[in-house]
Structure 1
Amino acid sequence: MKSFWLSIGLFIALIMQGKAQVLIGQITDEEGRAIEGATIYIRETMQGTVADENGNFRIHLAAGDYSLEISALGYEKQLIEWEITEKEASLSVRLKPIRYMLKEVRVIGKGEDPAYYIMRNAIARAPYHRRKVKEYFSEVYSRGNFRIDNLPRILKWGKTGREVFDTIKGKTLLMESVMDIKFQSPNRYKRNILAFNTTIPEEIGPEKALNVVTSSIYDPDILGILSPLSPGAFSSYKFRLEDSYREGERMINKIEVQSKIKNNRLWNGWIYIADEEWCVVGFDFSYNVKGFSAQMQVGFNEIAAAIFLPTSYNIAIGMDMMGLEGEAKYFSSVKYKELQIDTIQLTLATEDTSIRKRAVSKKEQKIRHKIQELSEKEDLTNRQAYELARLSQRLQEWPLSDSVSPYQIPLRRLKDSVTVDTMVTKRDSLYWQKIRTVPLLEEEIKSYEGRDSLRKFMEKVFGPPDTVPNKADMIFSKIMLGDTFALDNRKRVGLEVGGLWEIFPQYNVVDGLWIGQNVQLHIYMNKGKKISFGPSLYYGTARKTLLWKMNANWLYAPMSRGQWELDFGEMSEDYGHAGEGALFENSIS
């Protein structure tokens, strides 16, 4: 049962001084409709929060004067000066739709959409924006809730299965957490979980606290999906300049992002980029595969001069596949406590290297000169944009090997360490009431009220939850689901075996039941490259024949998903491409 709840928890994660006063408010449009996902940013405290589905928010602040930035994608930003004096102050804000001015945008005389000019500059400077923040220290409040409307029939078998389903059907379950995050450029995150609370019947540990805030739009991928600002994005995405508008002295471009091919690792939606600075000021992306959908809105604010960082996250997830139906919502509010800018990054395009206090080689001088030369061009080509991104990254991570491919920036793995405060699960209701930036919804309040009775029911049915996975469970999991076994001490060669789960992978009316196995040998190389090859061999009980395939795959460009693949053999395939989910459900049925 533990694996079941852990799977559900991962599902919602795919796709969380002075005398304190309370500022509560609601954000609506001109017609009074709530604006879900609107961002409220307090300049003095560098704190952001997000409005819930009813447009509501709440922030605890010390008495004093504050400047509030109220914004939402598609609406004009409002700046409100507000004095906090009473114990509880209320604020109601109505946002106006943005008045766009696309006709004033310069059109490039190439017969292409102006979005490509903007995106070339944004892609070229993505490494610069990723690295110009040297360090920051932030406090993050996250909350995710989900509801299960249906389960696969196999999980509803028998009296116990029906009782469990009837107990959880339509009920809201949630997790919420508070964590401190210490970021150090380029890719190191240290998370300290300060508080964690959940109404899931079997405990998911605090280390599972939702951590989407450790992703960046300037990284090659966002939550495992290719970023539109990654090197090689033009081969996977097409762009269209939908609108432009002024926000103070800046021109903001709203660009539609569309995937060129049907791929489950590509986004669709909109990205907002500031002219001339070529930095992201917000995005609204969606992700859809058969039976699964996710939408992620991220609000940015100017934390320091020309430094835009995420201050709010709003994510909605829906699932309807293999009999599992449900939906989830997640949001996160970020408060920046410390911020350190890398002054070296702010002088990338100059020849002045005195601040490095070291001898500069002729090769580095040549790279700096090339960066300056490309930066001064008004209209970059796709090739020049990729080249500028590569050179900027190389200079920032100097020295790098000369073996770096012209269009491949080395893939840096995220270094994420987690510690848990001793008081993490002992915070009282007063603490949570103070720390929450969005009030609990009615169904979330009911979820907390019914938590104890739901857990008692689950313990009665399945017994007390396991606190530590035992060795027998781990061995059983490997036998059932398979595993990859290292064949050398350096773990550069691995053998992947499918496990019992893959012995009977599917059933169809043509072949009958498949009985067999697949094996893959993986050779792991530098910079994320990998070579894999191995056979799949099955026996079809209806056709009474062997089904076999030999596969060879070379992942030579991890950043742009560049790979070479060769398959040969004799296998059956669904002509309608129904997908693995449908084949599995058909086999169970």
Structure 2
Amino acid sequence: MLNSFAARASTLLLLLLSSYASRSQGIKGTIRSANGESLPYATIYVRNLETGTTSNDQGYFEYPLPTGKYDLVFQYLGYQSVVQYVEVTKGFAEVNIRLEPQTIVLKDVEVRAGKEDPAYTIMRKAIAKAKFHQQQLDGYEAEVYIKGSGRLIDSPFFLRKEMAKEGLDSTTAFVTESISKVKYTRPNTYEEKVLSIRSDGQDNNTSPLEYLRGSFYDPMVGQAVSPLSPKAFGYYRFEYLGTFKDRDYEVSKIRVIPRSKGDDLFVGELSIVEDYWSIHSLHLATSYMGINFIIHQIYNPIENKVWLPISHQFDVNGTFFGFEFEYNYLATVKNYQIKMNKDLEVDLVIIDEKVDKELATKLEAQNKNMEPETTQKLQSGKELTRKELRKVLRDYEKLEMKRDTISDVQYITNVTIDSSAYKMDSTFWQAVRPVPLSKYEIKGYQKMDSIALVNQKEAEGDTVKTKQGKEGFRAYDLLLGNTYKLGDKSHLELKPSLLSLNFNTVEGYNFIYELAYTKTFENKTWLEVTPLIRYGFSIHQLQSKLKTTYKFGDQSLALEGGRYMYQINSKVPIYPIINSLTTLMLESNYMKIYQKEFVALNYKHQISDKYRVGISAEYANRIPLENQTNHTWFNQSDKMYTPNAPINVELGQTNFVVHQAFLTGVKFSMKPWQKYYIKNNEQQAINHTSPEITVAYDNAIPLADAEISFHRWSIEVEQSLDVGIRGRLNYRAGGGGLLAKDSISFLDYNHFMGNRTPVQDIDVVKSFRLLPYYNFSTSRSYFNLLTHYQFRKLFLSRFKFARKRGVKESVFVNYLGTESSLNYAEAGYSIDNIFRLFRIEGVAAFQDGVYLDWGIRFGVAAYLEEMFDFE
């Protein structure tokens, strides 16, 4: 350990010394257009070192270099590159550059009505070769400087004063900078070592990998379709803007035009290197939920073999709930060390069969007879049609996948942070920063440094501390909740009881008070003890239960017991707050409850991300309850409360007598085709890559005084599928039945997730929309299916104003099949993401194809479930 520390210290010392030695010499200057306008974030590439930097937002650059002669390339999108030779001796050599607009020359191609735009043959070749570029390198190493800078432009008027007091205004930018070494290994492994980080505290763990890993050679970039996707022609039109010369390369400029504008497509310009069919540079924009993303990238030939990005710029701006903001993200990549894939170290000549039909036919006939091995085809150097190239690359990928022993892992990213990464001061950053700070960023750092100074003085006792000791118990904590630290590894949490006040016709107004004591032990084990009390003012009854959970590794054991109220359907089809409102305001008491005195034991084991199992046992005395109040806020003469025992088609009245039951069960869930990514050596599941299949068996054993006896099974499959671009299918299908039922209570029937309230669950396939809660509960076999499909474009979403605001449209169809449900079905249409928060649905119900009922339902925007990981 001592040797390791000494090595790190010596490395850091050498880095600092070299930084201080070189900061006194190098190059500096400004980059302007021919008419004198500053060119922000222009690229300065040191060709003989394969390193470089960019100018700042004012077109100014300052880059330290040791003594020597340098071959500099100055680049800016839309302008001719300038190559200049500079000798650095002492001090900074001043280099002021004027860039002329690119001289765009139209090729000798006839473009007229009835003729295909030449952009299409260029894009066909570039798309055909995209997979080639993805596989071209076995790996690379590089150094990355990354800077994220965010600024609040405007805010709601009623918050501006308070935000200004906190220093949140448009004149100050929050900045994060980092310097990293990155390593890529084909096909999917990225490693990053963060050497240093400087931040104002807003984003200490910024990493460039999330941006640099994405590639426009992939079918998707973020949430949008890449112009180089195999399906690009279905989503884009392309327009040839001309060809320009960049050093010794011919580069064609293509306008990218979405066939229909929306959140999922790019618009802008893409430049393609002729013959190589690789990206030269791009300027593309897209949007998501009304937030705009503008991407600039400049590529350079590394070792004259492969074009790789050396400069990334991401500009993000938008308005969210009255807060207008901008965020600029800049990354420069230098010192590439590449390792070529020897299988693909060849210059391919691609023939577009739509243009050169005769030659393509001849080549396909020749190559068909040869049928060489896949790698031999790639290395042959022969001319290939786009069709042949696609087939060969598909075969090559299949061979590569067979060599990959971790087929479930889609990509791997490992980030390590040097122990001294946060210790570099402003002097160090001034020496190594390749891009000078803007005035907003300077002010942000000044503010950060002043806060750090105050904190240091407080720590040293030079200023009066504003808080003495720990805050103790406050009376309003009983209503609003709070958490108290009891020791290094234990704490006590008071749950907010104010939000637990509800109403039902059995208890009247009722409230819940809950505590949670947590104790953490060694080896990632912890114990939680949760006592809970509940009081109903109309039933005049105090209830309580206690749950103790011990978690060890991926397993947990919970013991629970007491006397408490539960809904007849244990899946909780109606939330207490919703029931309170419908009962008090609409005189509709949908919730049906009973009481049980019980003790239960539950064991859960997360075997892996793919498999988990649960085992349960419970002995309960189950007690029926009746309404105790007819209180309501708005008395409606034509309505009255329904009994607490619901109506059921099979049973009629569902009243039951006090009885005991001993219940056991086992549940097994699996995601057999789950895909993963590995981040920092921890495997994490990727959403929507496998259906979840749950198989359950439970029974009631007539033990001691227990009277109930049955055996029951069920199976359920749930999945969310991305269909095409921005289309998403959610479904939940399930079935089950009883194998035997010597004695069964209505409590043990198979109940379904109905809904009669105007409010719909956030999970779009969790419940029906109009189904009565207990009408079709059954002791026989059943099947149900809930489906929901969100369209990319339907009616409203065809209009630009709706798509720009993130509005989505969906249709859904639900079905319940039991012996008595008469093929109950629902069909509906929904408008989602209204004001980015809400959803409205219209739905109709049918039995045996005959219209039954209709309704309107309101809910929270469905995408928020995934964003906040709701269950």
TM (norm. structure 2) is 0.50
User: Aligned residue for 2:169?
Assistant: 169
Matched residue, 1:391 = 392
- What is the distance in 1 between the residues matched to 2:293 and 2:489? 31
Rounded Cα–Cα distance in structure 2 between residues aligned with 1:472 and 1:309: 54
1:283 touches 1:299 (CA, 8 Å); kept in 2? yes
Equivalent position SS for 2:315: strand
Report 1:262-411 matches (<5 A): 262-347=261-346, 365=372, 367=374, 376=383, 380=386, 384=387, 388-396=389-397, 398=399
Of 67, 71, 92, the residue aligned with 1:63 is: 67
Offset, 1:336: 2.0
CA deviations 1:382-421 (Å, max 9, x no partner) are xx2xx623531431551557xxxxxxxx998332111111
1:36 aligns to what?
40
Deviations 1:174-231 (A, max 9, x none): 111111001112221101111111113xx53436567412222222222342221122
SS in 1 for 2:142: strand
Alpha-carbon deviation of 1:238? Answer: 1.6
Instruction: Describe the SS at the equivalent of 2:431.
Output: helix
Partner Cα distance (2:250, 2:83) in 1:
18
Pairing 1:101-116 to 2, within 5 Å after superposition: 101-105=105-109, 111-116=115-120
Maintained 8 Å contact 2:182/2:192: yes
Offset from partner CA, 1:98-153 (integer Å, 9 cap, x none): 11111435769972211110011111111112222222211111111111234579
Distance 2:41 2:119 in 1: 26
Question: 8 Å contact 2:42–2:54 — kept in the other structure?
Answer: yes
CA contact (8 A) 2:143 2:333 kept: yes
Tell me by how many angstroms 1:567 deviates.
2.5
Cα distance, 1:250 vs structure 2:
2.5
Q: Is the 8 A contact 1:520 1:532 kept in 2?
A: no
| AA at the equivalent of 1:522 | Q
The AA in structure 2 aligned to 1:445 is: I
More helix by share: 1
Indicate the SS of the match to 2:39: coil
In structure 2, C-alpha distance between the alignment counterparts of 1:495 and 1:83, rounded to whole Å: 68
Q: Which residue of 2 aligns with 1:446?
A: 443
Q: Would you say the 8 A contact 2:312–2:332 is kept in 1?
A: yes
**Contact 1:273/1:281, CA 8 A, preserved across alignment:** yes
What's the counterpart of residue 81 of structure 1?
85
Deviation, structure 1 residue 316: 1.1
What is the CA-CA distance between 1:372 and the residue it aligns to? 8.6
For 1:212 and 1:75, how far apart are their aligned partners in 2? 25
Select the residue among 567, 574, 578 that pairs with 2:812: 567
Q: Deviations 1:256-301 (Å, cap 9, x if unpaired)?
A: 1122234422211111001111111111110124531111100111
| CA distance 1:104–1:151, change in 2 (3 Å) | same
**Partner Cα separation in structure 1 for residue 47 and residue 430 of structure 2:** 23
Partner residue of 2:148 out of 116, 133, 144: 144
Q: Aligned partners of 1:284 and 1:109: how far apart in 2?
A: 28
C-alpha change, 1:581 and 1:137, in structure 2 (3 Å) is same
Q: Report percent identity of matched pairs.
A: 24
The answer for unaligned runs of 5 or more in structure 1 is 1-16, 351-361, 402-409, 497-518, 556-564
Report Cα offsets for 1:463-493 as digits up to 9, x if no partner: 99xxx999999x99xxx9xxx9963275554
Query: Cα gap change, 1:280/1:547 in structure 2, threshold over 3 Å: closer, same or farther?
Result: farther
Describe the superposition over 1:516-552 as per-residue Cα deviations: whole angstroms up to 9, x where unpaired: xxx9922799xxx997413997655499x95689325
- Give the match's secondary structure for 2:265: coil
Which has a greater percent of strand? 2
2:132 is aligned, of 128, 135, 138, to 128
Counterparts of 1:579 and 1:394 in 2: how far apart (Å)? 45
The 1:363–1:179 alpha-carbon spacing in structure 2 relative to 1, beyond 3 Å, is farther
Write the distance in 2 (CA, Å) between the matches of 1:472 and 1:291: 42
Aligned length, in residue pairs: 492
* 2:759–2:859 Cα contact (<8 Å) kept: no
What aligned pairs does 1:1-40 form with structure 2 within 5 A after superposition?
19-20=21-22, 21-40=25-44
Q: How far, CA to CA, are the matches of 2:790 and 2:492 in structure 1?
A: 36
2: CA distance, partners of 1:376 / 1:222: 30
Q: Secondary structure at the match of 2:120?
A: helix
291-300 or 210-219, larger mean C-alpha shift: 210-219
1:521 aligns with 2:520: no
Structure-2 residue corresponding to 1:434:
431
| 3-state SS of paired residue (1:430) | helix
Equivalent residue number for residue 533 of structure 1: 731
Task: Write out per-residue CA displacement over residues 9-42 of structure 1, whole angstroms, 9 at most, x where no aligned residue.
Answer: xxxxxxxx79522311211001110112311100
Identify which of 464, 469, 488 aligns with 2:670. Answer: 488
Q: Distance in 1 between matches of 2:227 and 2:370?
A: 30
Give the equivalent residue in structure 1 for 2:199: 198
Matched, 1:216 2:184: no
Cross-structure match for 2:186: 185
Q: Counterpart of 1:559?
A: none
Q: Match of 1:266, SS?
A: coil
TM-score relative to the length of structure 1: 0.72
CA distance in 2, matches of 1:426, 1:178: 13
Equivalent residue for 1:551? 787
Alpha carbons 1:123, 1:389 under 8 Å: kept: no
Structure 2 CA distance for partners of 1:236 and 1:375, relative to 1, 3 Å: farther
Structure number with bigger Rg: 2
Mean Cα displacement is larger for which, 440-449 or 63-72?
Answer: 440-449
CA distance in 1, matches of 2:394, 2:261: 30
> Tell me, what secondary structure is at the counterpart of 2:293?
strand
Moved more, 205-214 or 76-85: 205-214
Aligned to 2:412: 415
Cα distance, 1:342–1:40 mapped onto 2, change above 3 Å: same
The CA distance in 2 between the partners of 1:532 and 1:370, in whole Å, is 42
Structure 2 residue ranges without an equivalent (≥5): 1-17, 350-368, 456-464, 472-487, 497-574, 576-608, 613-668, 675-689, 695-715, 734-752, 761-767, 772-784, 792-809, 814-825, 841-857, 861-871
- C-alpha deviations, 1:426-458, integer Å up to 9, x for none? 01222211211111112211111111556879x
Give distance in 1, aligned partners of 2:401 and 2:32: 51
Partner of 1:62, secondary structure, is: coil
